[in-house]
Amino acid sequence: MSPEVDGRYAVLGAGSWGTTFAKVLADAGTDVCLWARRKEVADEIENDHLNSEYLPDVMLPARLRATHDADAALDGVTTVVLAIPAQKLRAHLEDWRDQLPRDATVVSLAKGVEMGTLKRMSEVVADAGAVDPGRIAVVSGPNLAGEIAAEQPTATVVACSDHDRAVAVQHACSTGYFKPYTNVDVIGCELGGACKNVIALACGMAAGMGYGDNTTASLITRGLAEISRLTVALGGQALTLAGLAGMGDLVATCSSPLSRNRRFGASLGKGLSVAEAEEANHGQVAEGVKSCDAIGELARRHDVDTPIVEAVSRVCAGQVSARDVGDELINRERKPE
């Protein structure tokens, strides 16, 4: 375990990733309290050091505290970590806005783009939480919660326009199994995390139809081209997408049977309806299903071509089958890479 880290952290949201990230912080020696929406989840973590619904096989550190009371979790903290699904973040922030300490760093773990507003999560935090953008950080990378909770070695990126704040979060979550790098390109890191979910849906569809690694690699690589174009159009850095928050997360999410987005896509590829695919995912969030339309619309507004994102949107809307959309993609116009 690392030496004690300065500052107190609240992690708001005790699903797979919120619980895992809180464990990482506690293992790093950081003082952390986890807020759970349901009292029984908070009580189980506080008393039994277990979150049996999301991480049934993982013993949580005794030093990790948990509560159902958001005011208590936020009292006196230096850093607030938001681990709420992307489309639910705004409503929660509006509730918590007055409790967010004025100088706290606010870290978003969510990977999505808000439907309707087309805002990235840091923009939602700035807007709904009334937080100065220089205080907002995002954590994104190849971070499948189950593997990290099992303490398998993983790297990630902490991005913040204020480098000192990124470094502080980096120190607070560095452990023997979790290695955070810093970056100042918030736009690139966020778009990498949000868009790879949509590409993972496409890879899942391909797997569900019985296709192998060549198809997956082709979708990952052409997906990376779409994400890079969109990132540059929105003011981010293409090079960020060559890193952990881009290629790294694409490889993990598009290849892993643990990914909820890939699993959801595989259900669609096998011919299940969207409702049946949701049921097969046991109510856990597959962010790409909701974000794909917003990402597609964002790309259209900036005149960026995103054919894989468009294809996934149409399948998720039930307009076309995965197989038909696959044929459309392979038969698009031939052009230089």
Ligand X SMILES: O=P(O)(O)OC[C@H](O)CO
Residues that bind ligand NAD (CB under 6 A): 13-18, 37, 54, 83-86, 88, 109-112, 143-145, 284-285, 287
Q: Nearest distance from residue 17's CB to ligand X, in Å? A: 7
Closer residue to ligand X (CB): 197 or 306: 197
**SS3 label, residue 65:** strand
For residues 231 and 196, the answer to whether their CB atoms sit within 8 Å is: no
Helix boundaries (H) for 120-161: 121-128, 145-149
Specify whether 196 is catalytic: yes
79 touches ligand X by CB under 6 A: no
Q: Nearest distance from residue 188's CB to ligand NAD, in Å? A: 16
For residues 160 and 186, the answer to whether their CB atoms sit within 8 Å is: yes
232 annotated as ligand-binding = no
260 annotated as ligand-binding = yes
Q: How far apart are CA 240 and CA 228, in angstroms?
A: 9
90 annotated as ligand-binding = no
Residue 261, binding choice from ligand X, ligand NAD, none, Cβ under 5 to 8 Å by partner class: ligand X
Q: CA–CA distance from 118 to each of 104, 128, 219, 238, 295 (Å)?
A: 25, 14, 24, 20, 7
- The residues pairing with 180 across neighbouring beta strands, listed in sequence order, are 156
For residues 227 and 288, the answer to whether their CB atoms sit within 8 Å is: no
269 touches ligand X by CB under 6 A: no
Residue 37, binding choice from ligand NAD, ligand X, none, Cβ under 5 to 8 Å by partner class: ligand NAD
261 annotated as ligand-binding = yes
Tell me how long the chain is: 337
196 annotated as ligand-binding = yes
229 annotated as ligand-binding = no
Residue written as token pair 């087309």: 118
Closest to 49 (Cα-Cα) out of 32, 37, 61, 67: 61
Residue 252, binding choice from ligand X, ligand NAD, none, Cβ under 5 to 8 Å by partner class: ligand X
215 touches ligand X by CB under 6 A: no
For residues 201 and 177, the answer to whether their CB atoms sit within 8 Å is: no
End-to-end Cα, the chain, rounded Å: 47
Q: How far apart are CA 187 and CA 265, in angstroms?
A: 26
Which of residues 67, 143, 255, 313 is near ligand X by CB under 6 A? 143
Residue 85, binding choice from ligand NAD, ligand X, none, Cβ under 5 to 8 Å by partner class: ligand NAD
Closer residue to ligand NAD (CB): 97 or 300: 97
Q: How far apart are CA 119 and CA 84, in angstroms?
A: 15
Residue 200, binding choice from ligand NAD, ligand X, none, Cβ under 5 to 8 Å by partner class: ligand X
290 touches ligand X by CB under 6 A: no
Give the residues lining the site for ligand X (CB under 6 A): 111, 142-144, 197, 200, 249, 252-253, 259-261, 287
Annotated binding site: 16-17, 37-38, 54, 111, 141, 145, 196, 249, 259-261, 285, 287
The set of catalytic residues is 196
